[in-house]
């Protein structure tokens, strides 16, 4: 993996789901909305001064959101943070850098 370049999109893992679950309350607060379904389906990662995760999350039968989550370096001991997000996405929408 080249430092700074996002990885290719790959299927979500248990770790990806755990990261998405940690930022779910942040998204719900920003959107003023509760999500009954919140299933990570794919992700990309990017090495920065920590790690950016781009995660496609299914929130309804055919509605998705794209999350950009930042995880700081371990020694900083900070929680993961929702950096940005995109709503009204579909299953076929590419998980691109944003």
Which DSSP helix (H) or strand (E) runs through 18? Answer: helix 14-31
Classified by CATH at the fold level, domain 10-89 comes out as: Nuclear Transport Factor 2; Chain: A, (3.10.450)
pLDDT in tens, the chain (98 residues): 455 778 889 999 999 999 999 999 999 999 999 999 999 999 999 888 889 999 999 999 999 999 999 999 888 889 999 999 999 999 999 998 88
Confidence (pTM) = 0.91
Chain position carrying tokens 């496609």 = 56
Q: For the chain, how big is the Rg over CA atoms in Å?
A: 13
Domain ranges of the chain: 10-89
Cα separation, 43 vs 95, in Å, equals 7
Both structure tokens of 87: 């709503």
**How far is residue 66 CA from its own chain's centroid?**
6
């Amino acid at each position: 993996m080249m430092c700074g370049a996002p990885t290719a999109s790959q299927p979500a893992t248990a770790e990806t789901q755990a990261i998405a679950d940690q930022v779910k309350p942040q998204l719900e607060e920003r959107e003023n909305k509760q999500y009954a379904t919140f299933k990570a389906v794919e992700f990309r990662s990017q090495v920065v001064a920590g790690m950016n995760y781009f995660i496609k999350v299914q929130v309804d039968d055919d509605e998705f959101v794209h999350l950009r989550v930042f995880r700081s370096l371990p020694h900083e001991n900070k929680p993961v943070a929702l950096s940005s997000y995109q709503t009204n996405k579909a299953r076929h929408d590419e998980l691109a850098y944003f």
